[in-house]
Structure 1
Amino acid sequence: MNKKKMEMLKRYRFLLVMLVGTLMILVVNPTLGRHVYGLAWDNILGMLGVLPPIFILIGLLDVWVKKETMVKYMGKDSGIVGILLGFFLGSAAAGPLYGAFPVAGVFLNKGSRLSNVLIIVGAWASMKIPLLLFEVSAMGFKFTLIRFVMDIFGVLIIAYSIEKILTDEDERQIYELAKKMN
């Protein structure tokens, strides 16, 4: 096999292993196998409903927002503005967490500080406004407020800890990988 095919197999080996595993389930237990493939199909349809709007918004962000503007508001010297903007963008975002990663890639390509991008992803994962409204109605205001404040500190601690732990080479590789993905 040539090198390109080997790289392709290596890249998609998990998918291939899962496909073989689910085919074996389908052969051994057809009812369970059909259920597994039904769930997989539902997940694919769910992703197809979410990802196209996210990619359209990413494209618009990439075209409409100049790199200089992004660096000013989200770059290394953005300070509290970058932090607040990161929290706002993450908590106002719609869609599941896997939608945050292409968005993070665009922000990295535009020169955003890594910790600010991590804040967006962290807020996207734990601090969405619709989730907070539901949580207030289900768990009460006091619980929601305590969890929200803890999330703010948790996201900040994680974002800045990761940024401090990474070497300059690690950070450079992250930015290069983000460029390759777009």
Structure 2
Amino acid sequence: MSKNKMALFKRYRFFIFMLIATLIILLFKPALGLNVYHVAINSVLQMLGVLPPIFILIGLLDVWVDKETMVKYMGKDSGIVGILLGFFLGSAAAGPLYAVFPVAGVFINKGSRLANVFIIVGAWASMKIPLLLFEVASMGLKFTIIRFIMDVFGVLIIAFVMEKLLTQADEQEICQLSKKMVE
């Protein structure tokens, strides 16, 4: 096997394994196998409905916001403004969690502080405004406020601890990987 084929196989080995496993399920339990493929196809279609608008918005962000502005508001010296902006961007965002990673890549490439990017990801995962409104209606205001405050502190602690644990080499590797991802 050539190096290119081996690299391609290595890259897609999990997908190939899962394809074989689901084909075996389809062979021995046809109803369950059809359900597996039905769910997989629906998930892919849902993802295709979400990602193009996200990529368009990322492209606009990349073109419209220059690096100096991003560094000013989200960079190393942004302070509380960067933190608040990170919380706002993460909470106001729409879409599933997997949509935040290309967004995070653009922010990293534009010179944002890693802790601020981690705050965006954390807020996107746990503090979306529409979900908070649903939570108030179903769980009550007191529960929602307590959980929200815990999320704020949790996201902040995780973001700053992660940033402190990363070495300079780790930061450079993250920046290089994000540049590859956006290209």
Q: Same fold (TM over 0.5)?
A: yes
Alignment of 1:1-182 (within 5 A): 1-182=1-182
**What secondary structure, in the 3-state scheme, does the structure 2 residue paired with 1:62 have?**
helix
**What secondary structure, in the 3-state scheme, does the structure 1 residue paired with 2:173 have?**
helix
The runs of 5 or more residues in structure 1 that have no matched partner are none
Q: Which amino acid aligns with 1:17?
A: F
* Alpha-carbon offset, residue 102 of structure 1: 0.6
Find the aligned partners of 2:161 and 2:97 in 1 and give their Cα distance. 21
Under a length normalisation based on structure 2, what TM-score does the superposition of the two structures give?
0.98
* Alpha-carbon offset, residue 71 of structure 1: 0.6
* Alpha-carbon offset, residue 69 of structure 1: 0.6
Find the aligned partners of 2:104 and 2:170 in 1 and give their Cα distance. 16
1:16-46 per-residue CA deviation (whole Å, 9 max, x = no partner) reads 1111100110111111100100010111111
* Alpha-carbon offset, residue 12 of structure 1: 1.0
* Alpha-carbon offset, residue 6 of structure 1: 1.4
Find the aligned partners of 2:8 and 2:74 in 1 and give their Cα distance. 35
Find the aligned partners of 1:78 and 1:4 in 2 and give their Cα distance. 44
**What secondary structure, in the 3-state scheme, does the structure 1 residue paired with 2:115 have?**
helix
Root-mean-square deviation over aligned CA pairs: 0.6
Find the aligned partners of 2:166 and 2:106 in 1 and give their Cα distance. 20
Under a length normalisation based on structure 1, what TM-score does the superposition of the two structures give?
0.98
Find the aligned partners of 1:57 and 1:63 in 2 and give their Cα distance. 10
Q: Which amino acid aligns with 2:126?
A: S
Find the aligned partners of 2:146 and 2:8 in 1 and give their Cα distance. 47
The runs of 5 or more residues in structure 2 that have no matched partner are none
Percent identity of equivalent pairs = 74
4+ long deviations beyond 3 Å: none
Q: Which amino acid aligns with 2:31?
A: T
Number of aligned residue pairs? 182
* Alpha-carbon offset, residue 172 of structure 1: 0.8
